[in-house]
Amino acid sequence: MKITESTRSIEQFARIDVGIIDSGVGGLSVAQELKTLGPNLRLGYIADTALFPYGDKTVETLIPRMRYFVSLFNEIGTRVVVIACNTASSASLRDLRHHFDDSVSIVGMEPPLKPAAQHSTNRSVAVIATSGTVSGDSLTGLKERFASDIAARLIAAPGLADCVERGLMTDDDIDVLIAPIVNEIIAHDVDTVALGCSHYSFLMQKISDRFPANIKFFDAARPVAKRAIQLFGELPNHDSNVSEQSGPVKVFLTGNGSSFEQTLSKLGEAGCVLPEIRIHLDKLVVPNV
């Protein structure tokens, strides 16, 4: 991971192929997958650090912010935007697709419950997610669509995303948060787990190491990246030969930049794979939307 800084604002960019929105560093797991699968794509990333975490925010708070951020990308010609947060996706996806219609393709983040259900041997699965995602209508709908005929537990993991955001990723930090979830999953004979938060991608190995070896895990970052690349490829005038010099992920913040960089450094020290990024120092000012 390499971090550089710039004073250019988002409005000064002539081209960002795929935009990504999250409240903190979690969506960088999707950015990393996008860079792996489509290394020539030019990526822009809005980290709404002023409102972190999204997991406990209301629909009324999230929808206008998502509209505003998508409109920023739309104004510079970005036609594919990923809402890289399950809670924000659940709250705003339907509204965004209606509001922007065909001008922007919106990719939502949702727990990979479908593949988890398909790979469960004993027909018992679990979704681990933020409290906001677990209580949202979107996850309930996924359960009805893809796991209505099997046992599917929706388990909230308070504090786990925040643990990643603060770079607190020692074994002791993870154990305190994961231990009760491990007990619940073992007690209900779950054999397949869907991780329902982009932050959890950075903890995949640490989480899975705490469960019996027979339990399978599914993460949403790669499927979301694949869908974004597919939609970009379907654009009528997309450039399939994007310059190899696509550069680092351009990161725009609404809040504190130093804490964001500190978190990235801690994630790097913990062995997390992150894309090269360039942080733009001018904060995004969000109007009273």
Fold annotation for 3-109+222-280: Rossmann fold (3.40.50)
Half-sphere exposure at residue 27, Cβ-oriented, CA atoms within 13 angstroms = 36
User: How many Å apart are CA 232 and CA 34, to the nearest integer?
Assistant: 11
In the chain, which residue ranges form alpha helices assigned H by DSSP? 28-37, 59-75, 86-100, 113-118, 131-135, 137-146, 160-165, 171-187, 204-208, 221-233, 257-269
pLDDT given for residue 11 in this prediction:
65
Binned average pLDDT, 10 residues per bin, the chain of 289 residues: 62 82 95 94 95 87 97 95 93 95 94 94 93 82 91 92 81 88 95 93 90 94 95 77 70 89 88 90 81
Task: Tell me what pLDDT residue 9 has.
Answer: 64
d(CA 4, CA 30): 20
pLDDT of residue 172: 86
Confidence at residue 237, expressed as pLDDT on a 0 to 100 scale: 67
Q: What is the pLDDT of residue 5?
A: 59
Catalytic residues: 85, 197
Query: Residue 268 is which amino acid?
Result: G
Kindly state the DSSP code that residue 88 receives in the 8-state scheme.
H
pTM: 0.88
Per CATH, is 113-219 categorized as 2.40.50.140?
Answer: no
Distance between CA atoms of residues 111 and 218, nearest Å: 8
Q: List where CATH 3.40.50.1860 sits in the chain.
A: 3-109+222-280, 113-219
- The rounded distance, in Å, linking the Cα atoms of 35 and 29 is 10
pLDDT of residue 13: 67
Model pLDDT, residue 23: 92
Residue 49 near residue 288 (C-beta atoms within 8 A): no
> What is the Cα–Cα distance from 244 to 77, expressed in whole angstroms?
20
Burial profile 242-258: b = 16 or more Cβ within 10 angstroms, e = fewer: beeebebbbbbbbbebe
